Amino acid sequence: MSYRLTIVVPVYNEEDNLQRVEKEFLQYFKMATVPCKILFVNDGSKDKSQYYIEEICNRDERFTYISFAQNAGLSAAIKAGFDHTDTPLVGYIDADLQTTPEDFNKLLDEMDDCVLVTGVRADRKDSFVKNMSSKIANGIRRAFTHDGMDDTGCPLKIIQTDYAKRIPMFKGLHRFLPAMILLQNGKIKQVPVRHFPRIAGEAKFGLWNRLLGPLMDCFAYLWMKKKYINYTVEKTSRG
């Protein structure tokens, strides 16, 4: 099969969610608008996540994995997923499935004229504190980046792979993916997607890394924007 989309699923201590991830994607494969496959990135999990990942991959060749020697963080897991993708498009979804794979079709519908399409979580099913901290953090980030995106923390995105591979990732930069595509002069768009309560496992982000951490990352982004190198090759000696 000629796959068009690789969906990266970062995993950190999600043993209670992985069988549901398998079930949801087996359903999505039947309705996906392009042929796709899954790439688990095990970010140094200390539970039985790796065991379940290998079981899933052994059952179906559309599921693949890479596993870190130790925990490196969400941005590193996403970057590794981008680096190991060999399809024209690369997507991303969290293993907690607070967003649904079905909504990848909504994003794919908008990819014809876009480099990146990201979801916006409609009617979020999180706590008041989590919703407010995310809203404040998004407002601060927009003021720094001017990317026009309302919810860059939404764990549902699709990017053209050649652009994704050129993103210089560092810790926390997963929130700045749309802004980094704009630095490459790529078109971005946001699409409303569904959001669900977390059923199992524990959230990996608290108030600090949801609000204060991203504020510090904004200054890192401004430094990178000033130093960012972008070029277009017009022609070569080989034509």
> 217 and 174 in contact (C-beta within 8 Å)?
no
Sorting pLDDT into bands at 50, 70 and 90, what band is 132?
low
Please give the pLDDT value at position 222: 77
In 3D, which of 40, 38, 47 has the Cα closest to residue 202? 47
Please give the pLDDT value at position 88: 98
Report d(CA 214, CA 70) in Å as an integer. 23
Per-residue tokens: 10: 């970062």
Kind and range of the H or E element at 118?
strand 116-121
60-94: per-residue pLDDT in tens? 999 999 999 999 999 999 999 999 999 999 999 99
Q: 219 in a domain, yes or no? A: yes
| Helices and strands (DSSP H and E) totals, the chain | 9, 7
Sorting pLDDT into bands at 50, 70 and 90, what band is 50?
very high
- The total domain count for the chain is 1
CATH of the domain at 188: 3.90.550.10
More confident residue, 111 or 221: 111
DSSP SS3 for 52: helix
Q: 238 in a domain, yes or no? A: no
Q: 102 in a domain, yes or no? A: yes
Sorting pLDDT into bands at 50, 70 and 90, what band is 238?
confident
More confident residue, 126 or 155: 155
Report d(CA 139, CA 130) in Å as an integer. 14
> 1 and 33 in contact (C-beta within 8 Å)?
no
Q: What percent of the chain has pLDDT over 70?
A: 82
Burial class from Cβ neighbours inside 10 Å (0-12, 13-18, 19+) for residue 239 reads exposed
- Return the CA Rg of the chain: 17
More confident residue, 221 or 42: 42
Burial class from Cβ neighbours inside 10 Å (0-12, 13-18, 19+) for residue 30 reads exposed
Kind and range of the H or E element at 9?
strand 5-11
Under DSSP, the state recorded for 17 is T
The mean pLDDT of 33-38, rounded to a whole number, is: 98
Q: 170 in a domain, yes or no? A: yes
Q: 233 in a domain, yes or no? A: no
More confident residue, 31 or 122: 31
Sorting pLDDT into bands at 50, 70 and 90, what band is 226?
confident
2-34: per-residue pLDDT in tens? 999 999 999 999 999 999 999 999 999 999 999
Q: 118 in a domain, yes or no? A: yes
> 174 and 213 in contact (C-beta within 8 Å)?
no
Q: 21 in a domain, yes or no? A: yes
> 96 and 14 in contact (C-beta within 8 Å)?
yes
Report d(CA 109, CA 147) in Å as an integer. 21
Please give the pLDDT value at position 115: 97
Per-residue tokens: 143: 């003021």
DSSP SS3 for 41: strand
Q: Point out the least confidently predicted range of 46-50, 55-59, 167-171.
A: 167-171
Please give the pLDDT value at position 28: 98
Please give the pLDDT value at position 2: 93
| Mean pLDDT for all residues in the chain | 86
141-162: per-residue pLDDT in tens? 666 666 767 777 788 999 999 9
Residue ranges making up the domain that contains 106? 5-227
Distances (CA, A) of 228 to 56, 73, 159, 231: 40, 23, 19, 10
Which strands make up the sheet holding 116-121, listed edge to edge?
A: 63-67, 36-42, 5-11, 89-93, 156-160, 116-121, 188-193
